[in-house]
Structure 1
């Protein structure tokens, strides 16, 4: 009987240990499930596409990062303001507006620098920006469209009231142009290609304002403390995707072109209007004693203040967050 009692005690103790382990595992699972997924918002834009390539190739951990696509940049901004997303791909001028309004965006990556990708187009019979005088120009309601138009007008000796601005989301503009509802537009790929196919002519492009249009990945300041692993995950996925694009350009372009509703060749042609900074370039632009993006940003900020596109100045250094990139393994 003593042997049976000892055996029962041992079995009981083993059962308790087993239950404790199961309970601990359940708690761990619950904690993992309760960790929020990092939601990154993008609009339809060739420069954001490597993120979706990273997802397709398995370079993004789906439990850590969720990509949310919106039809326009203005809707991305609205989603960030409403806290529907935690981060986004956004242009520098748009980020300034969020920062001044106290939304606390923090730049963790320079996605691309426009070198011809952002354009102003007009009807087939137009040759210069001056041909748009008195005409209807479609402009997205976000800051970027207004900025590109203001720079194009200024560089051609024109003022804002020389054209009739029609606020319209970027995805709606090509159809409005074909119907004769607008005479021109501020646009970018894949919509630029749709305009050209409809007979539009390019009157201005961002090669004339080098370094002024910069696209970034930014997250809310609180994300840096709450989800540092997720931020590093999306950065690692980005650079793996860019490496794949460099190694296998035809296959990468084919995959990304499908989502952009263009051919692989058309996608690669659109990419020629962008410069995608390497990790080393990103570190120079965001970090160190004198981040390159600070001097670029100051010029842009002053232009925006002069054009009344920004209500107040800000300290650009405060919106840069190079730490996640600096702490990544090389």
Structure 2
């Protein structure tokens, strides 16, 4: 049922995109991007609160509204439908929702990767991935949690045929895990930290074992970016000013981190704990080195295969190569005539060179 709903959503989004083409015209001065609560994306909200976004937008003669939404998937759907010019999302979701829905999208900033923020939990006697055999496991189906489970099973020479996945929304994971009937779950922070701190719970696999594969990004509409480079410059400049402030280890950074902690529903210690399992790129050079790495096409090839195997590239997809993806130095994987996801380092390169 989830798969059917997703396909209907893609069809509806495609119609909406055609209807909103005029909204993506060049020469605009007002833009909107969206984000949802997650450790790696909290800087967007704080950058707005502190006036950093407006400062950079003013520098380039535009206005940028950074909007917090409450539902992650809905935020991506709204971006895909043309209601936002950019949206914070993971690499897999960028491929399977906007790109697969026909919306040409650019990963403007690959801001971090999950380095323990996502984990596989067993409640009770199980202490290793192999103990999941024959069990049920609760997770958000077709999300990065599902991808993490697949990689965990692969590490134990198992597959999804060895267990049963139970689709559970991120809002319901904690409640389900608290019931006697649920013994296994895959989730992300902050839920992960709360659940694995409970008695008799073991984390048997986490994203630190697949470094770089679950990325967090600010994705923008490629045509909008092409026609309005000021948007790319303003967002990139604001982002790196904000994360530099976070990393400054002074009174101002402590104030900013405390505000982000409160906004995400935890305290400073809890938020720092989440950041410790987030490989956040605090400098443009660090982000540039990651996005231009030759490993990027390899990682996305693996993600595309998982997505195709689970029917996430569309009903008509014939292979994992259905959607083309472009990388640094002109490298393209997948369908070269259907490139819809671009890891373009242009603006981060400008930031690294001090040219913003």
Per the normalisation by structure 2, the TM-score is 0.74
- Cα shift readout 1:243-282 (whole Å, capped 9, x = no counterpart): 1111135333211110111111111111111212220133
Distance 2:160 2:39 in 1: 28
Q: Which has the higher helix share?
A: 1
Q: Partner residue of 2:301? A: 298
Evaluate the alpha carbon distance shift between residue 299 and residue 165 of structure 1 in structure 2; reply closer, same or farther with a 3 A threshold.
closer
> Any idea what SS the aligned residue of 1:186 has?
strand
- Cα shift readout 1:192-233 (whole Å, capped 9, x = no counterpart): 122124443212101211221111111111220343323322
Q: Partner residue of 2:76? A: 77
Q: CA deviation at 1:295?
A: 4.2
Q: Partner residue of 1:175? A: 175
Q: Partner residue of 1:13? A: none
> Any idea what SS the aligned residue of 2:205 has?
strand
Q: Partner residue of 2:14? A: none
Contact 1:94 1:142 in 2 (8 A): no
Q: CA deviation at 1:147?
A: 0.9
> Any idea what SS the aligned residue of 1:158 has?
coil
- Does residue 1:48 correspond to 2:41, yes or no? yes
Q: CA deviation at 1:37?
A: 3.6
Distance 2:277 2:294 in 1: 24
> Any idea what SS the aligned residue of 2:171 has?
helix
> Any idea what SS the aligned residue of 1:171 has?
coil
Q: Partner residue of 1:321? A: 344
- Does residue 1:268 correspond to 2:272, yes or no? yes
Which has more radius of gyration? 1
Taking the TM superposition and a 5 Å limit, the aligned residue runs for 1:98-113 are 98-113=98-113
Q: Moved runs in structure 1, 4+ residues, more than 6 A?
A: none
Contact 2:39 2:278 in 1 (8 A): no
Distance 1:292 1:156 in 2: 23
Taking the TM superposition and a 5 Å limit, the aligned residue runs for 1:25-40 are 35=28, 37-40=30-33
Distance 2:71 2:164 in 1: 21
Q: Partner residue of 1:202? A: 203
Contact 1:253 1:265 in 2 (8 A): no
- Does residue 1:256 correspond to 2:266, yes or no? no
> Any idea what SS the aligned residue of 1:315 has?
strand
Contact 1:284 1:292 in 2 (8 A): no
Distance 1:92 1:174 in 2: 25
Evaluate the alpha carbon distance shift between residue 292 and residue 155 of structure 1 in structure 2; reply closer, same or farther with a 3 A threshold.
closer
Q: CA deviation at 1:72?
A: 4.4
Distance 1:267 1:222 in 2: 36
Contact 1:80 1:86 in 2 (8 A): yes
Per the normalisation by structure 1, the TM-score is 0.79
Distance 2:68 2:142 in 1: 16
Evaluate the alpha carbon distance shift between residue 240 and residue 113 of structure 1 in structure 2; reply closer, same or farther with a 3 A threshold.
same
- Cα shift readout 1:37-78 (whole Å, capped 9, x = no counterpart): 432222321010111121122111187222333444322332
Aligned residue-pair number: 295
Root-mean-square deviation over aligned CA pairs: 2.6
- Does residue 1:64 correspond to 2:63, yes or no? yes
Distance 1:138 1:84 in 2: 32
Q: Which runs of 5+ in 2 are unaligned?
A: 1-26, 328-338
